[in-house]
Chains A and B, each alone.
Chain A
């Protein structure tokens, strides 16, 4: 047991080589799309909307197709079933996600400069936590919208879960929900961090004496 802890300590205090550092730099760069592209996209088709209605969820705003008009159209349709209005203001996520993501990028840079294994492990674990929490938060938001329907709405529908990923038929609408480029980039961050861990782990195994203690 003791040896295990010692081994772990040694590992955590080992240095990280140039490759994983470059990967950390890449992870920091991969955060940039979060400020440029949507995190998630919902596309809805109905006979009356052959071109489809598109909702684009960015890290900092809600936008829609047709120069944003689609958000208004979706809200007009949703009001018949008593769904709360989708607005940028209603998403607290838009306030903290850009801030947190930026902070994470700084931490990636920090670990790239420090080149310490424990820093790399820290940011990877934190990033995992951030990714899972964001996914849950997004899913919960959709759940709330689908379940807090006004009891007095003209059209009474059973509470429903809009699709988080994939296709679902809701009344006369085909609804498709897929991650946007920003989410792929964030997924990429995860892959890059894993790759950095993997590479540095292999380097450590090959040359454990590189460790300081």
Chain B
């Protein structure tokens, strides 16, 4: 009897333990709260998204998206809304697919570098709106490149610019593309080559802002002038427009002037700065002969030339700074905060007039935060960058919250939020940094994709998500995966671009261009040999090239086709030669024929039914 009761108690207890076990599996959740509540997109939502992004075969996208390729050194072109990768524009890195970095001109342009770090594409502007002429892109190695949007080719790599070190804050253009602006992220003693101990960082290291002049007709970049700045880390910039035209705004972190473990040492102050620069005043001062020559360029020192630079306190460690379409507001976010600050340009001017300063840094006045800010908008955690839409709408990327917040300028209300997968950096809206944003589309440029794609091993692509912003309720339309690593990107209406599809024969002024196979052949001056080559379907003329061992050989290739998409290549085996010539284009490459023997060359870019037959032999005779 008793034993029975004991057994009953033990059994009862076991039942309780099992119940608790079941309870516990209910307690430790398997998914976050949002995920539990969120319904998967309904079939009708999916078909709406599909229709909005589907571009039928043969149809064209509405917008171009130019994405920076980060440390790939390239620019990637996508169509919006399809998010199809259309083309890669090689800029700072050799690209065998188009022969970039193999011919004499592009090789010379690349100099001794085989990489660049592209962060911020900047489309040329007229009156603050994209004009579709050029695309400027930065390189961390102090360079700025110009891509001509007539043929989508890199035309110029300018730099390394003297005194600039770590050209992250670049290549922002002013509203009429007067300048492409750049600034140092990693302050150094200047001119370059100067050595000062790291413990003299606060005094002997200098931040630098540089203005590169842009020739209005050709887009040619040249050295403008520079401004000496305190040794902060200049991160991003945006030119004032309309109301604030003539000004340039730069975020800077490390106003502590710290060195070493910056993630700690540069985050001690509650506020860093946005530097406001009156670039028209700077231009005038340079015109008046002010400024000292350092490293071969005229540099203004704000201590000696006051009234040009002011510092606006901003939440600590700010990243993006973005000027509203009407130019009235400057939006800057401390990237560790939960709010973004909106500064009022008029209030900034008033504060400057009234000398409403709270201090100075190396002679540069610090404006009073309370006097110049209009609002602190509670967008969410980790605000980085802001883009704009019509009707005073603004979109701020939130790294920590991994989301985009939509809010309104003027009323400062946060309207909507959309999650990003995952950890968004920059974002780009259709013409969203111009005086006339289009709305419609926005692309979140996310840092992590965490397996939202077929696995491709540890080196994962970046995730770029297309968001529909045609209504105030934002909707994610599409996940695209982009080459590493887009930082900023810009979206321009396709009808603003009018690219050519062949190089017209009459425009080809290359001194070694020939248009008739009769002119093809070898000419010799001592041991310098020039070979003029014609490529046309389906022969490379001449089919034999004879040189002597030790000759310096320059081959000039002309593709005499005038038909769209009839590209020809020239691969020379064992000599590391790989050239591609577009229709109507002439390129040269020079090499030393230092190996005797027979070396085949052939057309690399498939062109015709008898493409395989498009071949010849280089004969290098022994001495």
A-to-B contact residues, CB < 8 Å: 17-20, 22-23, 26, 41, 43, 45-48, 50, 52, 54, 80, 152-155, 171-172, 174, 176, 178-181, 184-185, 187-188, 191-192, 195, 199, 203
Contacts and interface: CB of A to CB of B under 8 A. Distances in A.
A181 B18 CA distance: 10
Contacts of B420: 47
A45 B268 CA distance: 28
Given A18-B6, A48-B450, A178 B27 contact: yes
B28 A41 contact: yes
Contact of B32 (A45, A155, A180, A199): A45
A184 B6 contact: no
Give the bracket for the number of chain B residues in contact with chain A: 35 or more
Contacts of B24: 178-181, 184
B161 to A, nearest CB: 31
Nearest to A45: B32
Which has the most chain A C-beta neighbours within 10 Å: B17, B267, B382? B17
Contacts of B263: 80, 154
B502 interface: no
A191 B16 contact: yes
A203 B263 CA distance: 68
A50 B450 contact: yes
A18 B3 contact: yes
B21 A22 contact: no
A47 B28 contact: no
B2 interface: yes
Nearest to B17: A188
Contacts of B21: 181, 184
Contacts, number: 102
Contacts of B184: none
Nearest to B338: A171
Contacts of A22: 6, 10
Contacts of A152: 264, 268
Contacts of B421: 47, 50
B43 interface: no
Which has the most chain A C-beta neighbours within 10 Å: B21, B30, B32, B403? B32
B2 A47 contact: no
A185 B401 CA distance: 38
Given A179-B24, A181-B24, A155 B336 contact: yes
Given A50-B450, A172-B400, A18 B35 contact: no
A23 B267 CA distance: 59
A181 B317 CA distance: 44
A16 to B, nearest CB: 12
Given A43-B29, A174-B33, A184-B17, A19 B422 contact: no
A18 B13 CA distance: 17
Contact of B402 (A46, A155, A203): A46
A176 B35 contact: no
B17 A154 contact: no
10 contacts: A19-B3, A19-B9, A43-B29, A45-B32, A48-B448, A171-B400, A172-B401, A176-B27, A180-B24, A199-B9
B452 to A, nearest CB: 10
Given A47-B419, A48-B450, A153-B264, A188 B6 contact: no
Closest 8 CB pairs of A and B: A19-B6, A45-B32, A47-B402, A178-B27, A154-B267, A48-B422, A184-B20, A41-B28
